[in-house]
Structure 1
Amino acid sequence: MGRVLVLGNAGVDLTLQMPRLPEKGETLLGDDAGSAPGGKGLNQAVTAARTGVQVIFHAAVGHDAQGVQIAAALASEGISELELHRVPYSSDFSLLMVLPDGENSIVSAGSCAAALTVEMAESFAANTNAGDVVVLQGNLTQASTRAALGTATARGATTLFNPAPLWWEVRPILPLCDIVVTNRGEAREITGFSDPTDAAAALCQLGASVAIITLGAGGCLTFDREGTIRHYPAVRIGAIDTTGCGDTFCGVVAAELAMGLGQETAINLAQSAAALTAQRRGAFTALPSRDELATLTARIELARSGDGAAGED
């Protein structure tokens, strides 16, 4: 069994339930304000660890109370190797504005994640082996992201890149990606194609081996270098808050691939796990528990064996 190695961000999520997004110059009141540990890297590492796979997670936090809060939250998650680099900035945070239909808009501060250097990234990835899955997001600088993915690729690991947030040119990184996971909007911004299938094909033409585009209630689709297209329908639910669904999806896909399961099983399990997240408020607080992930895994295995219905929830 391989390991999941996540290099990314760790911060604090501030959440507001909003009737709509504010107009330019407008002040709106939100409800149900909340605060919890967060960040794409942190959420993906925690989700992967809750599947039972061995997880290594490195991130950067500030010398402040928020950094202490983040470390305390992660201490009980069973992460095999946790390293939080202390850097001279306030710990990163995100403001999550959640709309009545469950969709969200997010604004993030990322000075700590951007402070992870090329040397740190190379040192992190130098510990990878064949069979490991290395996961990065778009929070680091392009140079550090390239260094980590390049080193991991040279060592034979599988690389999974979730490029959000998009704040630098992603295309040069794609040849280092075995798997790239984006949502519909991110794929359009990277490739210029509005149609998800066309965008997925373009991501592979730009160098990714496999492109996965998540489509919310529409499930997801995959495209590979051989031109094979596959659509995975979503689990039917009543979504309350879609915050963190993409992180749950990426964490589970990485974990299942590290365990040696195939892409189809990994994606089906990841979509079921993301559906659980969408039915709860928040991101970190909505991530599936160990017991829930174990139940989903058992259900998928039962379906694969032919003793259960593949479409059951």
Structure 2
Amino acid sequence: MGRVLVLGNAGLDLTLQMQRLPEKGETLLGDSAGSAPGGKGLNQAVAAARTGAQVIFHSAIGHDAQGAEIGAALALEGMTELKLHHVPYPSDFSLLMVLPDGENSIVSMGSCAAALTEETAEIFSAKANAADVVLLQGNLTQASTLAALASATTRGTTTLFNPAPLWWEVGPLLPLCDIVVTNRGEAKTITGLSEPTEAAAALCRLGASMAIITLGAGGCLTSDSDGTICHYPASQIRAIDTTGCGDTFCGVFAAVLAMGLGQVTAINLAQSAAALTAQRRGAFTALPSRDELAVLAARYKSLEK
């Protein structure tokens, strides 16, 4: 069985429930404020670990109380290896504004994640072997992300890239990606194509071996380098808060691949896990538990037989 190696951000999520997003220059009152550990890298690593995979997670935090809080939460997750690089910046954080229909808008601060160097990224991916999955997001710099993907590729490792947030050009990195996962909006931004099937095919033409576009209540679709499109419907649920659904999907998907199950099982299990997240408030606080993921894994393993 392989491992999941996650190099990404770790921070705190500050959440506000909002009736609507503010207009330019407008101040609104939110309610049900809360905070919890977060960041795409952290959430995905935790989701992978709770699925049962061996997880190596490296990130960067500040020398502050927030960093200590993040480290204490991660220490409880039973990861195979956890390394938090201390850098001379305040620990990263995100402001999440959640609307009544469960949709969200997020603003993130990422100085710590951006401080992870190319050398650190190369050393990190050098831990990987052919049975492993290296999972990256868009929070690091383009140079460090490229270094990690290139180092993993030379080792025959499966590379899984979730490029959000989009703050630098993604296209040059896609030839180093075995699998790229985006939502509909991200795929449009990268490819310029609004139709998801066309955007998925374009991501493969840009170099990815496989593209997955998540569609919320519409499930997800995949495209491979041969142009084959597959659609995977999602369970019909009442979404409370979609924050963290993409992270749950990516972490669980990576874990299932590393555990040696097939891509179809990985996608179906990841979608079912994301549906659990959507029915709860928050991101880290809404991630499925180990017990919940064990039940899902047992169900899909039985279907494979």
Structure 1-normalised TM-score? 0.97
Structure 2 Cα separation of the partners of residues 304 and 31 of structure 1: 45
Structure 2 Cα separation of the partners of residues 294 and 204 of structure 1: 33
Structure 2 Cα separation of the partners of residues 180 and 303 of structure 1: 26
SS in 2 for 1:159: strand
**Paired position in structure 2 for 1:117:** 117
Task: Give per-residue Cα distances to partners, 1:155-197, cap 9 Å, x unaligned.
Answer: 0100000000000000000000000000000000000000000
Instruction: For 1:268-279, list aligned pairs within 5 A.
Output: 268-279=268-279
SS in 2 for 1:240: coil
**Paired position in structure 2 for 1:308:** none
1:46 aligns with 2:46: yes
**Paired position in structure 2 for 1:293:** 293
**Paired position in structure 1 for 2:169:** 169
**Paired position in structure 2 for 1:189:** 189
Structure 1 Cα separation of the partners of residues 75 and 209 of structure 2: 35
Cα displacement (A) at 1:76? 0.6
**Paired position in structure 1 for 2:235:** 235
Matched letter for residue 151 of structure 1: S
Task: Give per-residue Cα distances to partners, 1:88-146, cap 9 Å, x unaligned.
Answer: 00000000000000000000000000000000000000111001000000000000000
Task: Give per-residue Cα distances to partners, 1:51-83, cap 9 Å, x unaligned.
Answer: 111000000000000000000000010111000
Matched letter for residue 131 of structure 1: A
**Paired position in structure 2 for 1:128:** 128
Task: Give per-residue Cα distances to partners, 1:216-266, cap 9 Å, x unaligned.
Answer: 000000000011110000111000000000000000110000011111000
Cα displacement (A) at 1:301? 2.2
Structure 1 Cα separation of the partners of residues 172 and 137 of structure 2: 15
SS in 2 for 1:251: helix
Matched letter for residue 93 of structure 1: F
SS in 1 for 2:128: coil
**Paired position in structure 2 for 1:309:** none
Matched letter for residue 242 of structure 2: T
Instruction: For 1:1-313, list aligned pairs within 5 A.
Output: 1-305=1-305
Which sections of structure 1, spanning at least 5 residues, go unmatched? 306-313
Structure 2 Cα separation of the partners of residues 245 and 201 of structure 1: 23
Structure 1 Cα separation of the partners of residues 55 and 43 of structure 2: 12
Structure 2 Cα separation of the partners of residues 144 and 235 of structure 1: 37
SS in 2 for 1:276: helix
Matched letter for residue 156 of structure 1: G
Structure 2 Cα separation of the partners of residues 302 and 237 of structure 1: 23
Structure 1 Cα separation of the partners of residues 116 and 204 of structure 2: 28
Q: What CA RMSD, in Å, does the superposition of the two structures yield over aligned residues?
A: 0.5
Structure 2 Cα separation of the partners of residues 239 and 53 of structure 1: 27
Calculate percent identity across the aligned residue pairs.
Answer: 81
Q: How many residues end up aligned between the 2 structures? A: 305
Cα displacement (A) at 1:300? 1.4
Structure 2 Cα separation of the partners of residues 19 and 149 of structure 1: 40
Consecutive aligned runs of 4 or more in structure 1 exceeding 2 Å deviation: 301-305
Matched letter for residue 120 of structure 2: M
Structure 2-normalised TM-score? 0.99
Cα displacement (A) at 1:302? 2.8
Structure 1 Cα separation of the partners of residues 241 and 304 of structure 2: 30
**Paired position in structure 2 for 1:311:** none
Which sections of structure 2, spanning at least 5 residues, go unmatched? none
Structure 1 Cα separation of the partners of residues 44 and 94 of structure 2: 16
Cα displacement (A) at 1:303? 3.0
Structure 2 Cα separation of the partners of residues 300 and 133 of structure 1: 20
Structure 1 Cα separation of the partners of residues 303 and 191 of structure 2: 36
